Amino acid sequence: MVVEVKLKIPKYDDEVGLQSSWVDGFILKTDIIENQIQIHANKAGLISLAKQLLYLAQDETPIGCHYHLDDYNSLETGSNELIISKI
């Protein structure tokens, strides 16, 4: 079985900088349990996270660009901060 998902990922633009695009109704939560980073998400959250990762992965996106997510920005209340950086 193959599932097809179409995503629109804008091309990185130096003038605009890093962009975020979240699917309506997304839920993302992070925990650290016994030295394990755990990411919990609904379907919209997983698709949204994939979109951010694909945006960072573009050749045009400079090294050092990052998303800083916390419970004030995109994560559920009580989540541990999550920083995703391009190296």
End-to-end CA distance of the chain: 34
Q: Examine residue 8 and state whether it is found in any structural domain, yes or no.
A: no
Whether the pLDDT of residue 8 is over 90: the answer is: no
Give residue-wise pLDDT tens across range 9-19: 989 999 999 99
Q: Examine residue 23 and state whether it is found in any structural domain, yes or no.
A: no
Q: Examine residue 16 and state whether it is found in any structural domain, yes or no.
A: no
* 50 phi/psi in degrees, rounded to 5: -60, -40
Domain tally for the chain?
A: 1
Q: Examine residue 2 and state whether it is found in any structural domain, yes or no.
A: no
Q: Examine residue 20 and state whether it is found in any structural domain, yes or no.
A: no
Q: What is the pTM of this model?
A: 0.88
Q: Examine residue 54 and state whether it is found in any structural domain, yes or no.
A: yes
Q: Examine residue 7 and state whether it is found in any structural domain, yes or no.
A: no
Q: Examine residue 15 and state whether it is found in any structural domain, yes or no.
A: no
Which is more confident, 7 or 56? Answer: 56
* 48 phi/psi in degrees, rounded to 5: -60, -45
Please spell the DSSP secondary structure of 4-21, one letter per residue.
------PPP-TTT-----
Residue 38, pLDDT score? 97
Structural domain boundaries, residue 38: 28-85
